[in-house]
Amino acid sequence: MALFNFKKKEETTTTSPEMETFLKDYSIEVMPRTAEKVENFRDLLPSGTRVYIAHIEGTPIEDMVATAKRLANDGYAVMPHFPARIIKDQATLENWIAQYQGEAGVEQALLLAGGVNTPHGDFHSSMQLMETGLFDKAGFKRLHVAGHPEGNKDIDPDGSMKNVEDALRWKQKFSERTDAEMALATQFAFEAKPIIEWANSVKAAGVDIPIHIGIAGPAKLQTLIKFAIACGVGPSLKVLQKRAMDVTKLLLPYEPNEVLAELAAYKAANPDFNITNVHFFPLGGIKTNANWAIEHGGASAVPANAS
């Protein structure tokens, strides 16, 4: 079965009930510099959409907080990243939490190690951030942590899943002692079958934290390959590389139709499946991704400014 649907622009999109249900309550990721290019989020995203704000090394906390405030004022559920390796110490973490809550009323966070190799200070993992107790103390209602359907060479250099699985078991125990709702927000991947196998293996291991599956939004194939390599995407990268060998397909945009259709069908047939939400990485642009979601029934395709 082909993994991708390269449709012509003039074709009419048909949305299945399964896809519409699967895309309900999807989330999307922005950065301060990409958010600045969006004139009005309410023309693109349904009211209440969870919007992650990625904190890239070097981004001033003031820019992060300003973006959070803008999105919160527009009616969105704001979830900023807290990358452990760029947070100097507990005092810095406490200051960031206070700014987010004071300026934007933030009650949700994605905790992750972060993409830098050398920690800037005391923290190197999301587990250390959780152990501070500061998020519980601040009354955060939701905490998300990273999931890795294809493993993570940064955590397991030998290519195994041992350390990743140990971390998941630790996070499961933490979820049982925190009042905050938790979920695994995953790296993006491109094949449905391995994603399904991984999610089922997580559940079989006794980890019942809901999974929000990472999906790359519509983008040029060249752009997608660049980001996939930079983000350490695993075996499914070969699918993109194979596509890139065909010059005619290299020039056409990628859309996540097939992988999402397969996941949606599996979810419909298995209601207890632990993937509960879709999280989009808008690698081809926020507007492009948001319009694709609307066309395919995301959140009943109702932007906040719809009349």
Predicted local distance difference test score (pLDDT) of residue 302: 46
Whether 7 is covered by a domain: the verdict is no
Domain that holds residue 83: 18-296
Whether 288 is covered by a domain: the verdict is yes
Placement of tokens 């979810």 in the chain: 267
Which residues, given as ranges, of the chain have pLDDT below 50?
Answer: 1-12, 300-303, 307
Q: Which token pair is 160? A: 């195994």
Placement of tokens 């942590």 in the chain: 145
Query: What is the number of residues in the chain?
Result: 307
Predicted local distance difference test score (pLDDT) of residue 152: 60
Predicted local distance difference test score (pLDDT) of residue 1: 33
Placement of tokens 């207890």 in the chain: 272
pTM, two decimal places: 0.88
Whether 303 is covered by a domain: the verdict is no
Q: Tell me the residue type at 13.
A: T
> How does DSSP assign 228-293, residue by residue?
HHHTT--TTHHHHHHHHTSHHHHTSEE--HHHHHHHHHHHHH-TT-SEEEEEEE-TT-HHHHHHHH
Beta bridge pairs of residue 82: 111
Whether 3 is covered by a domain: the verdict is no
Predicted local distance difference test score (pLDDT) of residue 208: 95
Could you tell me the CATH number of the domain that includes residue 259? 3.20.20.220
Domain count, the chain: 1
Whether 307 is covered by a domain: the verdict is no
Q: Could you tell me where the beta strands, DSSP code E, fall in the chain? A: 27-30, 50-53, 77-83, 108-112, 142-147, 181-188, 211-216, 219-220, 253-254, 275-281
Whether 6 is covered by a domain: the verdict is no
- Spatial neighbors of 162 by CB under 8 A, at least 6 apart, are 156
Whether 11 is covered by a domain: the verdict is no
Whether 110 is covered by a domain: the verdict is yes
Tens of pLDDT, residue by residue over 136-183, are: 999 999 999 999 887 665 665 555 567 778 889 999 999 999 999 999
Predicted local distance difference test score (pLDDT) of residue 103: 97
Predicted local distance difference test score (pLDDT) of residue 115: 78
Beta bridge pairs of residue 300: none
